[in-house]
Structure 1
Amino acid sequence: MSTLLQTILDGPEKGALREFLQQLRQQGKTYWLRNDILQVFYDSCRCFPEREAFIPHASLAKLLDTTQEIILEAESACFVLRPKIASQTAVRLTTNLDLEPITIPELLDIRDRLVNHYNPQEGDIFEIDFHPFYDYSPLIRDNKQIGKGVQFLNRYLSSKLFQDPAQWLASLYKFLRLHHYNGTQLLINERITNQFQLLEQVKEALLFLDAYGAKEPYTNFRFELQVLGIEAGWGNTAGRIRESLELLEALLDAPDHQTLEALLSRIPMMFRLVLVSIHGWFGQEGVLGRPDTGGQVVYVLDQARSLEQQLQEDITLAGLDVLKIQPKVVILTRLIPDHEGTRCNQALEKVYGTDNVTILRVPFRDFNAAVTQGWISRFKIWPYLESFAIDAEKALLAHLQGHPDLIVGNYSDGNLVAFLLARKFKVTQCNIAHALEKSKYLFSNLYWQDLESQYHFSLQFTADLIAMNAANFIVSSTYQEIIGMPDSVGQYESYKCFTMPGLYHVVDGIELFSPKFNVVPPGVNEAVFFPFSRTADRLAGDRRRLEELLFSLEDPLQVQGYLADPRKRPLFSMARLDRIKNLTGLVEIFAQSPALQEVCNLIVVAGKLRPEDSDDPEERSEIEKMYRLIEQYHLQGKVRWLGVRLSKADTGEVYRVIADHQGVFVQPALFEAFGLTILEAMVSGLPTFATRFGGPLEIIQDKVNGFYINPTQGPETADSLLEFVQKCEHYPDYWHQLSQAAIDRVYSAYTWKIHTTKLLSLSRIYGFWNYVSREEREDMLRYVESLFYLLYKPRAQALLNQHTQGL
């Protein structure tokens, strides 16, 4: 893209570029981001119609479209260019319009100067560079393949098997010999002593199985196979065992990636799983709507239930019922002594509808009881995580009666603890971020010192760097979560290169082309969230009760506002009251559109009604803003605001009641990493309008099974909603068409069965990769540990000292 810039400098658009930079300087700002850059450019072109006509063909327009930042210095302008996703470069344009390349360290120094935190006389700042440590791993070359890491890794592993069969087959043999359960050997026993004998015994076992029909139970010939060196784990019937052994035979004879994936996906190596979700209130009742809880609790509970079901199915298919093996899934979270009527003070809690899924709560150590006895914000939790991991290790060993086989972290704090535990147990680590705060808070790294007292981003971003690089694999809900879109940087991509002025520079924070990244979207709980048309599965009493709550109940403790005409089509939204979720923004959009108010009511479910009931400053601010908007725009009779905590069952029925009234679900977030509420609304049959910033772009196909909105453009959003409502009035079948399309979309791609099948397959494949690359990864893990002990831990201790002193 610097070539395009040089072309402009050598051509007729040179003057236009000079004029544009002068316009930026006249604004008085020195740091410009993409959206503002384009806004100034297009505004200036509108003043000259002859210019506007040439925009689609102008090199300057193409250049600015790929410019992420412009930093104006006294004698130059620095361009940060992103010619394609996952690729950035920086150049300096002098006042004489000479072009100079800028290295990453130089760019970070420029950003430091911008916020007056650059002093070369103090010496060089600490640089973090993970690039050299990824030499153990093959790298993806095509950015379109990012997020499909397991497919790439399978091809790589099978090619290695083919190129160097002796070494890799020996590794495969040793890997198969590793597997046991509570001292009982699985897969192959001591009668098979090397990879060459393995192939011979597999062929002999296949000949033996020819005497049995496909449905013959494994128990009928179990001991005969043991004599051949074949143990339990290959299948529950002769047919299933034959399929598994044929895959192994094919892999030993002529390896390919599809055979490798199919074989590893069948190997029983996952029996004890730990899902780590630490911050917030984690429980099954009385926690949703509390700060720091939200969708993560729903996600982890649904995932845990589905994982147990899938593990049990896999164990049965593997023929391990004969050994009485039962899977165990543990949700590891913190115990909160001041539990406020919830069960968050219980050390163990069984998850409803499961056999062996348990919430295991471990308390934080009492450095200061006034702090650690109650809830602690996700932004202040950092000093307690190392000691929590130490205590959790003992609690897990006692509860599981053995080591876990997989540890899955959730969010920044859970991922850090997952790293510490995986390092202790020497097991596979999976990271799931849901949302990374660095992307949500603009300039949060650049101005971290100003935000530190409230958000402690120095600890959070360091924890993210540690966990994401240590993880064996990372699960994202969407492709853009990793590397964004052509016009936006991805959450993980934002960690590639950044500065924490005065603390450290990240020269290369994550390898985006590593095969550790995999897109595995979550699903919906189909027992709770299902189409409104399935009336036989709905309870009439719940339906009537929630109908009254949504439309007519007068209860100042739960409801603010009434509906003057409840027959109007309801616009509905449900989320936490925080700035990012932008429910107050939706109210403002509705308030500024009299035409929309004529045909619709607005109903929002949003946690609390009174600022004094919230411990979260941001939530209190949003509550106060909601009241101001209702008063300012005279929305009484048009808006109902429910400050309630709904059970999961009630949440599902609320969507369906809104669908009974042919309503519309609106998700107006300023940024949404994925959007579980979008899936819930769609599968319930609600036509859905969702933010175009984040994951909804991959869930919804615009104007096919839902609609995109830009919540920062209020009139445009209101017009889109109004257009849909008017079309429904003119064409009564239109609402039903969109409703069915939304339902079909969810069932085709977003079920928990699809999610957990893929997650367990990934766990097995990366478990094998972890085994064969462990020695090569040790340098990476030592580097990560250095960051933990030298950077993270001292800052965590400083924050702990503040908490101990009651600050």
Structure 2
Amino acid sequence: MSSTGDRPIYILMISMHGLIRSENLELGRDADTGGQITYVVELARALGKHPSVEKVDLLTRRIEDNNLAPDYRIAEEPLGHHARIIRLPCGPRRYLRKELLWPHLDQMVDQCLNFLRSQGGRLPDLLHTHYADAGYVGQQLSLLLGIPQIHTGHSLGHPKRERLLSSGRKASAIERQFNFERRIAAEESVLEHASMIVTSTQQEIDEQYSLYHHFDHQRFCVIPPGTDTTRFSPPDRRKISSSLQQNIDRFFADPAKPLILTICRPEVRKNLKGLVTAFGRNPGLQQQANLLIVAGTRDDIRELEEAQQEVMQDLLLDIDRYDLWGKVAIPKHISQDDIPELYRLAARRHGVFVNAALTEPFGLTLIEAAASGLPFVAPDDGGPRDIVRNCRSGLLSNTLESEAIAQSLKEVLADRKRWRHWARNGLNGIKRHYNWPAHVNTYMKQVRQVLRRDRKRWRRQMVIKLDSGKSYMPLVNSALISDIDNTLLGDKRALRQLANWLQHHKGRLAFGIATGRVITSAVDILKQWQAPPPAVWITSVGSEIHYGAHLIPDTGWANHIRHKWRRDALEQAMQSLPGLTLQAAENQREFKLSYIVDPDRMPSLEEINHYLRDQQLCAQLIYSHHEFLDLLPIRASKGHAIRYLSYKWGVPLHHFLVAGDSGNDQEMLVGDTLGVVVGNYSEELEPLRGMEQVHFAAGHYAAGIMEGIAHYGFGADEPVPVTQGKEESTHNQKQRK
């Protein structure tokens, strides 16, 4: 990475899911709009105020949904001093829950590259990603641009899946609902790659992240989040809205009693059922206090998501079962501006805040309660342990047992002198441990260490010098990139048609190839077929880029993918594995180590990966045709190479038409490129059928490419007519992809 010295830095934050806007956050509207949303918005806003920060861009998904406020379709929204929200299109326009976003994340990578290019070439100094989906997007950007990635998981797939399995849910059912396999794979990959992992508590590290194979204790940093003390403060500083108080008190037969307050989304994990059971089975607690449950907003319970419907219906049935009418309030509409006042109302009535969740990774509401001078009861799990230790303003309880919840609530309410002591402790603890300036100061100190440590490791050269006569890449506004074997080659007549089309568009359109062949083999086979000469050569499975007839190497790409590549050590380590024989010397390259395999003897790819990681070695394993194994740098691939070219030469990805026939081509076919799958494709690509901007052609080989050109109207105002050529030759099916 280029040196930042002491100059202010540009931080790019990414948070993919939920409803994100600068004001009046709709927390609790659904399972994806909760504490993470508050954290990323307030962190971005606080970082923008720091003198060492030039600007903060918070990237999220643009949502154009008539069921939602128009705020979420605004492309750019100010967030505060030197901070803004940037919304980019990704997948369908409508709102999607996070589990459905995975197929669209490659498009977000491409949209982020387009956005950065539109900013005039100023690259971020740092990426900070939130949750697994943004972690995936950020990792791709980090690899493509050579920018360090910091990641905050917020919640993790491994422990959540274990909890659901232990509760009796079937593995197949939870996989369909939560897409854990892909989520956990993304989390593993981010853990291996990220320069720093930020957590809120030590428990997250010791009991949650430690479940992952790529757990590395040295790269974790505990930085408790802050709270906005301009919003959350004791009742003696603010007047409570009379209309809000009336809205709450109308539920109660005796509104003057102390108030037990809980604020959470209507999820099973939040254990609202356990809380109502605790209150309903304890007449003494009902004598002491009223119960106020703020569980998101709703117009009609029947319009909520199915899981939320079940929680709310159970809640109402239990209230009726225990005859709690006049003692419990569950208001339908509470805005985010009302939340601080509810804490103050409960504090003024000497009540208590309760978080009854079954598990709690952090517990942001506990910090908000403490900042409001309101003691709390919380799960004896995860983050609350740290908060109780730092604030000394509440009790930990076994929230798995309703009786234990009831006894803890009664204990807090019973002693007014201790209540006041806890209220003061909470205010002091927040000032010492949970304010945003302290959080950001610690954050920036850690960031500077990351930037200094990674400066040489991430250094890259993005520009190469080309004589004007050797490449016309700086002049083009679109590109056609094709795999060679079984895509470009296989039908001589169709190939001639494509060559004529390319000649007609030369000068403003670049032709390139992307192949597993080494550069010399690619040159030879194209000469044999009298194929049009490429302006760009992506060879050796994306590990090399050359330009023009003189095969000028892109040294910037070589410097970029050199990250963590130790070829000699890899070759030595692989010698001890059975079933692997080095291919001939002409198939070996600086950034490609190639083997012929005996599939019956070779260890599985997972076993090889684990073995290499134990040796502290990093490589991508590319296995093809049950016959070949290539080891590549972790940044090298056909798809990454195309996105690098897009960024480098300023050609938007949707101006790239890419053609392929097998699974090795999949990465370059998805995202914002215009994908063409030729008619003689391998079944590995069938899952792409139906995806946006992936066209399955009927024509084989180059005829399929011509069909794709016509389908997209690529390179011309009018679609190019396609004539299906007779297949004059078939290509050796065992050629390398």
Fold equivalence (TM over 0.5): yes
Letter in 1 for 2:219: K
User: Is 1:493 aligned to residue 493 of structure 2?
Assistant: no
State the match for 2:642 in structure 1.
none
State the match for 1:578 in structure 2.
267
> What secondary structure is seen at the aligned counterpart in 2 of 1:419?
helix
- Contact 1:482/1:512 (8 A) holds in 2: no
Alignment match of 2:88 (pick from 362, 370, 374): 362
Q: Higher helix share goes to which structure?
A: 1
Letter in 2 for 1:306: A
Letter in 1 for 2:89: P
User: Is 1:651 aligned to residue 377 of structure 2?
Assistant: no
What whole-Å deviation, never above 9, does each CA across 1:469-514 have from its counterpart, x for those lacking one?
111110000001011xxxxxx111122xxxxxxxxxxxxx11333x
**Higher relative contact order, chain-length normalized (CA < 8 Å, sep 6+):** 1
Partners of 2:374 and 2:173 in 1: CA distance? 42
Letter in 2 for 1:603: L
Q: How does 1:280-429 map to 2 (within 5 A)?
A: 280-283=18-21, 284-285=23-24, 287-291=26-30, 292-310=32-50, 313-314=51-52, 327-338=54-65, 340-351=68-79, 354-365=80-91, 372-399=92-119, 401-429=121-149
Matched positions, count: 483
Letter in 1 for 2:18: G
RMSD of aligned C-alpha atoms? 2.9
Q: How does 1:665-680 map to 2 (within 5 A)?
A: 665-680=353-368
Alignment match of 1:755 (pick from 439, 446, 450): 439
State the match for 2:660 in structure 1.
none
Letter in 2 for 1:756: V
Letter in 2 for 1:587: V
- Contact 1:289/1:645 (8 A) holds in 2: no
Letter in 2 for 1:511: F
Letter in 1 for 2:223: V
State the match for 1:465 in structure 2.
188
Q: How does 1:531-680 map to 2 (within 5 A)?
A: 531-533=234-236, 535=237, 538=238, 540=239, 543-552=241-250, 562-609=251-298, 612=301, 614-647=303-336, 649-680=337-368
Q: Residues 776, 423 of structure 1: CA spacing in aligned structure 2 closer, same or farther, 3 A cutoff? A: closer
User: Is 1:512 aligned to residue 240 of structure 2?
Assistant: no
State the match for 2:452 in structure 1.
768
- Contact 1:409/1:432 (8 A) holds in 2: yes
Q: Residues 330, 635 of structure 1: CA spacing in aligned structure 2 closer, same or farther, 3 A cutoff? A: same
Q: CA deviation at 1:608?
A: 3.5
Letter in 2 for 1:431: H
Letter in 2 for 1:544: S
Q: Residues 409, 718 of structure 1: CA spacing in aligned structure 2 closer, same or farther, 3 A cutoff? A: same
Partners of 1:694 and 1:609 in 2: CA distance? 30
- Contact 2:8/2:52 (8 A) holds in 1: no
What whole-Å deviation, never above 9, does each CA across 1:706-744 have from its counterpart, x for those lacking one?
11011111112211211222223xxxx222111001111
- Contact 1:336/1:373 (8 A) holds in 2: yes
User: Is 1:720 aligned to residue 408 of structure 2?
Assistant: yes
Identity %: 28
Partners of 1:636 and 1:802 in 2: CA distance? 52
> What secondary structure is seen at the aligned counterpart in 2 of 1:527?
coil
- Contact 1:608/1:614 (8 A) holds in 2: no
State the match for 1:48 in structure 2.
none
Partners of 2:284 and 2:690 in 1: CA distance? 53
Q: How does 1:208-227 map to 2 (within 5 A)?
A: none
Partners of 2:291 and 2:76 in 1: CA distance? 41
Letter in 2 for 1:349: E
- Contact 2:301/2:312 (8 A) holds in 1: no
In structure 1, the gaps of 5 or more residues are 1-174, 181-266, 316-326, 366-371, 484-489, 496-508, 553-561
State the match for 1:480 in structure 2.
203
Partners of 1:303 and 1:377 in 2: CA distance? 23
Alignment match of 1:440 (pick from 160, 173, 180): 160
Q: CA deviation at 1:685?
A: 0.3
State the match for 1:49 in structure 2.
none
> What secondary structure is seen at the aligned counterpart in 2 of 1:343?
helix
Q: How does 1:30-49 map to 2 (within 5 A)?
A: none
Q: CA deviation at 1:333?
A: 0.2
> What secondary structure is seen at the aligned counterpart in 1 of 2:329?
strand
Q: Residues 625, 527 of structure 1: CA spacing in aligned structure 2 closer, same or farther, 3 A cutoff? A: same
State the match for 2:230 in structure 1.
527
Partners of 1:617 and 1:576 in 2: CA distance? 13
User: Is 1:275 aligned to residue 5 of structure 2?
Assistant: no
- Contact 1:288/1:645 (8 A) holds in 2: no
State the match for 1:692 in structure 2.
380
In structure 2, the gaps of 5 or more residues are 459-561, 566-616, 622-633, 640-662, 672-684, 694-737
Partners of 2:84 and 2:392 in 1: CA distance? 40
State the match for 2:571 in structure 1.
none
> What secondary structure is seen at the aligned counterpart in 2 of 1:350?
strand
What whole-Å deviation, never above 9, does each CA across 1:243-296 have from its counterpart, x for those lacking one?
xxxxxxxxxxxxxxxxxxxxxxxx425521111111111113353222211111
Partners of 2:343 and 2:354 in 1: CA distance? 12
Q: Residues 769, 798 of structure 1: CA spacing in aligned structure 2 closer, same or farther, 3 A cutoff? A: farther
Letter in 2 for 1:461: I
Letter in 2 for 1:493: S
Partners of 1:476 and 1:781 in 2: CA distance? 28
Partners of 1:639 and 1:547 in 2: CA distance? 14
Q: CA deviation at 1:785?
A: 6.4
- Contact 2:26/2:335 (8 A) holds in 1: no
Q: CA deviation at 1:453?
A: 1.9
Q: CA deviation at 1:746?
A: 1.2
What whole-Å deviation, never above 9, does each CA across 1:325-351 have from its counterpart, x for those lacking one?
xx2111100001115224111111111
> What secondary structure is seen at the aligned counterpart in 2 of 1:715?
helix
> What secondary structure is seen at the aligned counterpart in 2 of 1:379?
helix
> What secondary structure is seen at the aligned counterpart in 1 of 2:98?
coil
> What secondary structure is seen at the aligned counterpart in 2 of 1:665?
strand
